[in-house]
Structure 1
Amino acid sequence: MMPVEDFEALALACPETVTLELSNGRLEVRPVADGDHDEIIMWFAMQCLRLRPELRLYRGRGLRIGGDHNDRARPGGTLAHAGRFAGDGEWSSPDRILLTVDVTSYDDTPAAPCDYAAAGIPVRLLIDRRSGTVAVRSEPGSARYRHQRLYDVGEAVTLPHPASISLDTEELKNYTD
């Protein structure tokens, strides 16, 4: 079990070639995003900007998650109202976050959805490039999200409140297997 303080010191010194996360006291090392991953995050950001201009998608924002907020994660994107993270340090509280979005890489899996649920983040979007699916998880509980809807890439995806956005995922076919 790695103490949070030790993890944060290590994360500060970490090279930009990897991303570090802390999950249940265990160090997780993830590769940096590739071009398709970046295109998917940008696609989502542009959809949000067009449909909900008062919101911003913050890429790679460090979050204190889990039921005790002692875990640390960097989702692919964090959706919040403009200005939400002003004055925060490297790691932010999950309050007032509307949604996190993660995109699978071809050689890893994102943080477990229960971490985000336990932090009270209302909606989690997971775009799985390997399976060509989009999972929308909502209604966070203490250990997991109570509701999940799975869509195929190319289908219209409706994100529930508080995100309240309808996505056209046809373009994602360009970036998934």
Structure 2
Amino acid sequence: MPDQRHRAIVVWLTRLFMQERPDLALYPEQGLRVGAYRKGHACADGALAPFDHFIAQEGDWADPEGVLMVVEVTSHDRDTDRRDWVDKVRGYAEAGIPVYLLVDRDIDALTVYSDPRNGTYQQSPAYPYGSGVELPAPVGVTLDTEKLKHYAD
């Protein structure tokens, strides 16, 4: 269960994308069909896609086609390392999602996974809170992450 700081980070990102990329929406808690992840379904903390992208899809689990980026914010539970650092990295890469942004609250850093090829992200630079974080194409936004220092545990 996400705590208040977890939710605050997702809201912060949502507001940022509304300003920087009004053509896109960050869909919170978006269910995606991701074949390689656990039972074939992943619930992303956020999925960045064109505005109204999911409106024509039925059910709880959407096709990841057209999703530009997924966002995960780590939780303080026993499964977060395996889930966010291993299983979802592989699942999102195999689904061909161009960018996976992982906000790791344990180490106060963001990791930007990009360039998925053959089921693996080829790039994964990490940045401490307070850094400028460039999200590569197709997202094309630079995050000023100074605000995340206020959400640190």
TM-score (norm 2): 0.90
Counterpart of 2:60 in structure 1: which amino acid?
E
Task: Tell me the residue number matched to 1:144.
Answer: 120
In structure 2, how many angstroms separate the alpha carbons of the residues matched to 1:94 and 1:138? 15
Equivalence map 1:14-163=2 (5 Å): 32-66=1-35, 71-88=40-57, 89-107=59-77, 108-109=79-80, 110=84, 111-163=87-139
**Aligned CA-pair RMSD:** 1.7
Partner of 1:20: none
Question: What is the rounded CA distance, in whole Å, between the counterparts of 1:91 and 1:66 in structure 2?
Answer: 11
8 A Cα contact 2:134 2:143, kept in partner: yes
Q: Distance in 2 between matches of 1:143 and 1:54?
A: 28
Unaligned segments of structure 1, at least 5 residues:
1-31
CA deviations on 1:47-77 (whole Å, 9 max, x unpaired) are: 1111001100000111001359x61000100
Q: Greater CA radius of gyration, 1 or 2?
A: 1
- d(CA) in 2 for partners of 1:38, 1:67: 26
Shift of 1:122: 0.2
* Letter of the structure 1 residue corresponding to residue 20 of structure 2: L
Normalized per residue, which structure has more helix?
A: 2
Q: Is the 8 A contact 2:95 2:119 kept in 1?
A: no
User: 1:66, 1:117 within 8 Å by CA — same for their partners in 2?
Assistant: no
Indicate if the aligned counterparts of 2:42 and 2:88 stay in contact, CA closer than 8 A: no
4+ aligned runs moved over 2 Å, structure 1: none
TM-score normalized with structure 1 length: 0.78
Note the C-alpha offset of 1:95. 0.3
Deviation of 1:141 (Å): 2.1
Gaps of 5+ in 2: none
Q: Give the whole-Å Cα distance in 2 for the aligned partners of 1:173 and 1:66.
A: 35
CA distance in 2: counterparts of 1:37 and 1:132, whole angstroms: 12
Question: 1:29-54, CA deviations, whole angstroms, 9 ceiling, x for partnerless residues?
Answer: xxx21100100000111111110011
Deviations 1:69-127 (Å, cap 9, x if unpaired)? x6100010000000100121211111000000000011141243010000000000000
Alpha-carbon contact 2:96-2:119 (below 8 Å) kept: no
